[in-house]
Amino acid sequence: MNKESMTIQLKTLTPIWTGDAYGDCSEIKESNIIGTIRWWYEIVSRSLGKQVCTPTLQSEDKKCKLNGEQFIRSIREGKTIDTALDEQNICPVCKLFGCNGWSSKLKLVVKYDDCKDISGKVYVRGRKFGKAKRKVQGKMFNESNPLTLEFYPVKEITDEEWKILAFVIKLILKWAALGARTAQGNGVVEIINEDVLEENKLNDLAFSSYNFPDLTDFFFVKYRLEFNEDISKIISKNVFWIDEYQDKNSDHEGLKDLWNDHKFIPIGFHIRDIIRRVEENEDKRHELFGVVTKKNKKMIQKGSKIFVSHGYKINSNTVECRIWGYGVGENKREFVNKLQNKINDELNNYLFKPKCKNKNENKNDNNIHCNISYTEYMNNSLKV
């Protein structure tokens, strides 16, 4: 790895989304990308036994803050920068990404020449619970027009920091997603110049647990959906569930474009609708899967701890999806088994339109279905 910089080129497997002030994805924003990387860097650092602050908490004593005068005094006394930071208990994450009084060591530059905005091509309405339409949106990149992330050191970055950063990026690429709205299917990416992320030395280290999320709290599942017909043929039969009252032309053509041009189908919404009901207790369900509610005339939004991707192409009749998350308790395997059983029982009912009595209607009377296989990872020594 070139310690002067690191440049990676990505293609999207599902749309990448970063929001602007108007709630749109007008461009890919560095702040959102670096925010994702920092969040995972915190988790990996805790997993390696490092003490990490909690900058999202309101309590000031839980956040790192640098006293500039004390820092300068330490440097003048001949102490190294790391020693001067350690004296003020600046955590490893804030050392690299910055905190109050200390700017980041790392600068991220996002570059791209062209991309495809797929926002508004398809809207998916909930099958059984809720009437809201979910809009498929974001930007797509490919090998000819990749999304380029350039990481530059603006201060000296240690070998360990580079290696943890490389590990974090590999973890995101293999098991999770990049950017925002990753709980709603977005952000699965694949690296084009894979040689940049050289083998690091973190793979064989065991992870230890703290009170905040680390990798021991997470589960990661990949699953493949193999349809009994080519997906393009299934789309042409217009039997995928999008909306009971959908405009048969617009959304149908949009779905065809997403598969033919961008190699994914927006089934993350369907999967999420299924697995929300794996937790029957409403409070626990909202804690895990998030909720938007109104309290004292104010809208309160609680983010999800469970993330679901759309289905990206493996071959003409197979897609792969990801589910990952944390906060499900010590028995992660039991929770994953519940997810798998729920998906096995209900996926075909959620993916396809119901059979109907009127044979003139274009619904799922073609015996279309899919089979599901799983690849699971939940160990305490994550290899990427």
In the 3-class helix/strand/coil scheme, how is 312-336 assigned residue by residue? EEEECCEEEEEEEEECCCCCHHHHH
Rg (CA), the chain: 23
> Helices (H), strands (E): how many in the chain?
10, 16
- Residue 73 contacts residue 82 (beta carbons within 8 Å): no
- Residue 18 contacts residue 73 (beta carbons within 8 Å): no
pLDDT at 44 over 50: yes
Q: Where are the domains of the chain?
A: 6-196, 215-377
Residue 194's pLDDT is what? 81
% residues pLDDT > 90 (the chain): 55
The CA dihedral of 219, 302, 46, 321, to the nearest 10 degrees, is 30
pLDDT tens per residue across span 206-231: 444 444 456 888 999 999 999 999 99
CATH, range 6-196: 3.30.70
- Residue 159 class from Cβ within 10 Å (0-12 exposed, 13-18 middle, 19+ buried)? exposed
- Enter the pTM of the model: 0.88
- Residue 122 contacts residue 15 (beta carbons within 8 Å): no
Helices (H), the chain: 30-47, 68-76, 81-87, 92-97, 159-175, 231-236, 250-262, 268-275, 282-289, 332-351
pLDDT tens per residue across span 107-132: 999 999 989 998 877 888 765 555 56
DSSP classification of residue 196: G
Using alpha carbons only, give the angle 206, 177, 16 rounded to the nearest 5 degrees: 160
